Structure 1
Amino acid sequence: MVVGDVTTGTDVLIVGAGPAGYVAAIRAGQLDLDVTLVEKDAYGGTCLNHGCIPSKALITATDVAHEAANAEEMGIHADPAIDLSGMVAWKDDVVDQLTSGVEKLCKANQVNLLEGTATFADENTVRVSHDGEGQGSETIEFEHAIVSTGSRPVEIPNFDFDDDPVLDSRQALSLTSVPDSLVVVGAGYIGMELASVFAKVDTDVTVIEMLESILPGYDDDLKRPVKQRATELGIEFEFGYTAAEWREADDGVRVVAEPADRTAGDDEEPDPLELEAEAVLVAVGREPVSDTLDLEAAGVETNDRGFIETDSRARTNVDHIFAAGDVAGEPMLAHKGSMEGQVATEVIAGEPAAIDYQAMPAVVFTDPEIATVGLTETEAKEAGFDPVVGQFPFRASGRALTTGDAEGFVSVVATESKGYLLGASIVGPEASELVAELGLAIELGATLEDVASTVHAHPTLSESVMEAAENALGRAIHTLNR
């Protein structure tokens, strides 16, 4: 029996329950709006279920194993046994705890939760199809809508994620046995994070990258410690190649890679590579999920890459339809999506909210971590500033030395005249945590003097932030001043 079609109405319809969607929904409930949140997969979206949280769980678990096995200098001698299925089960428990928490928070804030796939019928109506035989569909009329459908891994020609030896990041995070060998296509943040995860459980990892270095978009001085650590882990790199095809091999897969800059008739071009491994992980980026919504029916426009373009208040070209998160464009960061979702809801509620990316942090959870916020020195110069830069190396930090991890530095960029913080870059231990202080400083319009004169507890890694500010002022104590 098919459930009959029904029509309901709501103040705010939100499509997609990832970090942008569920935050928008909870905020809408707090503002006493009638809100309906439609999700076709799992609450929390890719981030909580298949991306940010599970990857960081496995990064932490493999770090523990690797550190225990390599702590002889500290007088610790161990040979940990790796149970990847046990790691994955623990990771899944963490994910379940968080996703169930999201669902409970939504219900506690009077959010109407609806499972199904939404497509626009017109600019004020969506149809929601429910999975399962006989489940039918329903119509929802809305006054405002927020599209927060996120992103998905990019597939490349000849590498279909439905093929057993070809993995996307979601599948790689669910493996229950350690592969003996792995080819990773792409040296961006996802590829580098997962390459390190598997290298630390003794997988032979080779990374193919079409460019000439890892982590495109990051300065060389930030990437250098990460590349060095990866090499120490045994990760091999093949730069200047693109993965062309794969073939079955005796022990898994043979990946054929062609030179990225092939020129017809070039007698000196490199030969193609053939790399054998148990599996191949394709991590060349992510693309917006905007093609499943029938946006044209609502009049919502996308750019040539499929992203929904928005203004500073998260509005699309249709005034009452908003977009937030990965589907709204770069940077594709969960916390950026949450901010956009919250702003969209507050604008709908008549609040004076707007999006400000000035102090938006970005983090790469490689080994060591990289974190940035605000402008780099180059960007500051391009923006017309004559910046002053201060830097403090972790090798001069007592706390870093006591952790056994003293690679990297904290760098700050400020205006020369008043010393206002413009940006910061960190590579090293706990960079993802340290960047928050500098983001707050930029948000509040703090100066180098403000940061330098704030007493930081000793011994802590955060003292490195203070010392970097002091270095920019020419009065650092524990490193030579510039």
Structure 2
Amino acid sequence: MVVGDVTTGTDVLVIGAGPAGYVAAIRAGQLDQDVTLVEKDAYGGTCLNYGCIPSKALITATDIAHEARHAEEMGIHADPAIDLAGMVGWKDDVVDQLTGGVEKLCKANGVNLLEGTATFTGENTVRVSHSGEGQGSETLEFEHAVVATGSRPIEIPNFEYGDEPVLNSRQALALESVPDSLVVVGAGYIGMELASVFAKLGTDVTVIEMLDSILPGYDDDLKRPVKQRAEDLGIEFEFGYTASEWTERDDGDGIRVVAEPADRAAADGGAAAGETDADTDAEAEPLELDAEKVLVAVGREPVSDTLDLAEAGVETDDRGFIDTDSQARTNVEHIFAVGDVAGEPMLAHKGSAEGQVAAAVIAGEPAAIDHQAMPAVVFTDPEIATVGMTESDAEEAGFDPVTGVFPFRASGRALTTGESDGFVKVVAESDDGYLLGASIVGPEASELVGELGLAVELGATLEDVASTVHAHPTLSESVMEAAENALGRAIHTLNR
């Protein structure tokens, strides 16, 4: 023990106050546990402060400006002026309201809040170092611990985030002036969401991606409308390349980003070494792209290296993720891990669900994590949302799937919004009609997927969904029509 340490005890120690950690802390408090929540940065974690909430705020704001600017067919003629500093200020107000709410909810549920950085010193102890000169540290003894330290943006060689023109997603969301041009490295969900934001602000955007398409892991029919809309916004794509370095331009006007063919970078052990399915000519020349700034969005990595996990005997995989079971337990029975630090999928709502499970298990209640109806959403334009199995997933699992599709171009409500690209697709077992999964690309996909997630969770059938009367005119009718299409009785689209 460090001289001068004060030792205190708690039933449940939660490390990290993001959506996984603060939910675990609040639920444990509701279950009459003595809970201490340690946070080194800001309540709400990356999601509320630097990720989910601020990015969606800017997506909404830029969508409003873009829609107003392109509403001539509705008889609206406008050219809104964009004050990015004002937009960011509004975004910050939203963030402050939510993070302040998290702190109040924790206190109202009896959670003890402690600011500092926690590191394990044994299986039942941590040292919490407080920031600030002379603040010192203290030791906490615990019966159970929940690790919820989240993730951070991956940094690639030669693109350090401390360099002024190089941005990670957090820094991009804090810009107060619109860059004239931007290179985005990575066409995953973060890269594509922010590429669209800046394109709608008037930035010339080029996206570099080592694979041969955007949004790895999503089916081509879902990605196609998103890529087309991005190209309509003026976003240019360079597939089969990895960013290797950047330099300041000789004329002092911005930077030059150099990108190597992905297969050559992999062979050379470059920044994005690994297999690629990009169809890239081995003799292709490097790209040189001029821009004002470069945004690196190649993924996220777990924040587990700051915890001294070995002192507690907690094991991680070779990427730093903490292995857990269906109850969020690590290999050390009384230590749990939830959220991004516990591995894919790295989704805020998945972390919150895991946090509730961990709290319940600690309190002696039966609980387990069920990923069967775990939704995933990409807030691109248009949005993508999925839940449960795809058709190919179902076939691989041994089911005989049947599908039903309803296009938004046949939806009266979609047409009245001016957003009719995309579709709703449902997947069910052909014999009994049980819903196995669904996917959506189009307007309000993030909202529509909730009904389908509930249907999968409850074991609803196509008949259940199709026979549920949906209000007209609404986008949710498309869910009903997709189920009817799978049954061969859709009214407003041709049955397959």
Q: Specify the TM-score bucket, using the shorter chain as the normaliser.
A: over 0.9
Aligned twin of 2:145: 145
Mapped partners of 1:330, 1:268: distance in 2: 33
1:102/1:3 Cα in 2 relative to 1: closer, same or farther (>3 Å)? farther
Matched, 1:376 2:395: no
- Give the superposed CA RMSD: 1.3
Match status 1:344 vs 2:358 = yes
Shift of 1:268: 5.3
For the Cα contact (< 8 Å) 2:261–2:282, is it kept in 1?
Answer: no
Query: Partners in 1 of 2:323 and 2:60 — Cα distance?
Result: 36
Change in Cα spacing, 1:59 to 1:133, as seen in structure 2 (3 Å) is same
1:274 aligned to which of 279, 285, 288:
288
Rounded to whole Å, the distance in 1 between the matches of 2:444 and 2:324 is 33
Name the CA distance, whole Å, in 1 between partners of 2:181 and 2:444: 29
1:388 equivalent to 2:402? Answer yes
| SS of residue matched to 2:42 | coil
Tell me which amino acid in the other structure corresponds to 1:311: D
**Residue type of the alignment partner of 1:65:** A
2-structure distance, mates of 1:79, 1:370: 28
1:34 shift after superposition: 0.1
Gap regions ≥5 residues in structure 2: 269-279
Equivalence map 1:258-337=2 (5 Å) = 258-262=260-264, 269-337=283-351
How many residues matched? 481
Which amino acid in 1 is paired with 2:228?
Q
Aligned-partner Cα distance in 2 for 1:376–1:157: 36
Partner deviation per Cα, 1:384-407 (whole Å, 9 max, x = no partner): 001000000000000000000000
Question: What percent of counterpart residues are identical?
Answer: 85
The residue number in structure 1 matching 2:38 is 38
Given candidates 451, 461, 471, the residue that maps to 2:485 is: 471
Cα distance in 1 for partners of 2:417, 2:107 equals: 42
Task: Return the alpha-carbon distance in structure 2 between the equivalents of residues 144 and 101 of structure 1.
Answer: 26
Per the alignment, residue 419 of structure 2 pairs with 405
Deviation at 1:252, TM superposition (A): 1.5
Contact 2:264–2:282 (Cα < 8 Å) also in 1: no
Q: Name the CA distance, whole Å, in 1 between partners of 2:359 and 2:26.
A: 9
Q: AA paired with 2:78?
A: A
Tell me the residue number matched to 1:454.
468
Are the aligned partners of 1:406 and 1:428 in contact in 2 as well (CA < 8 Å)? Answer: yes
* Superposition TM-score, scaled by structure 2 size: 0.96
Q: 1:302 to 1:16 in 2, by over 3 A?
A: same
Q: Which residue number corresponds to residue 188 of structure 1?
A: 188
| Displacement after TM superposition at 1:16 (Å) | 0.2
- What are the within-5 Å matches in structure 2 for residues 436-451 of structure 1? 436-451=450-465
CA distance in 2, matches of 1:56, 1:232: 21
Distance 2:399 2:128 in 1: 51
Q: Kindly state the Cα deviation for residue 372 of structure 1 after the two structures are TM-superposed.
A: 0.1
Whether 2:108 is the aligned partner of 1:108: answer yes
Return the alpha-carbon distance in structure 2 between the equivalents of residues 17 and 51 of structure 1.
14
Give the Å deviation of 1:5: 1.8
Q: Report the CA distance between 1:4 and its aligned residue.
A: 3.9
Residue 42 (structure 2) pairs with residue 28 (structure 1): no
Q: Distance in 2 between matches of 1:329 and 1:424?
A: 23
Q: Secondary structure at the match of 1:60?
A: helix
| Residue of structure 1 equivalent to 2:259 | 257
2:62 aligned residue: 62
Task: Report deviation, 1:25.
Answer: 0.4
CA distance in 1, matches of 2:253, 2:64: 29
What SS is found at the alignment partner of 1:379?
A: helix
- Which amino acid letter does the alignment assign opposite residue 60 of structure 1? T
**Residue 369 of structure 2 aligns to a residue in which SS?**
coil
TM-score by length of 1: 0.99
Q: Which runs of 5+ in 1 are unaligned?
A: none
Return the letter of the residue paired with 2:7: T
Quote the Cα distance in structure 2 between the aligned partners of 1:229 and 1:187.
14
Q: 1:391 to 1:156 in 2, by over 3 A?
A: same
| Whole-angstrom distance in 2 between the partners of 1:173 and 1:239 | 25
Give distance in 2, aligned partners of 1:445 and 1:91: 39
Structure 1 counterpart SS, 2:451: helix
Change (3 A) 1:267 1:171: closer
Question: In structure 1, how many angstroms separate the alpha carbons of the residues matched to 2:418 and 2:281?
Answer: 49
CA shift digits 1:408-458 (9 cap, x unpaired): 000000000000000000000000000000000000000000000000000
> 1:228 matched to which residue of 2?
228
2:384 touches 2:440 (CA, 8 Å); kept in 1? yes
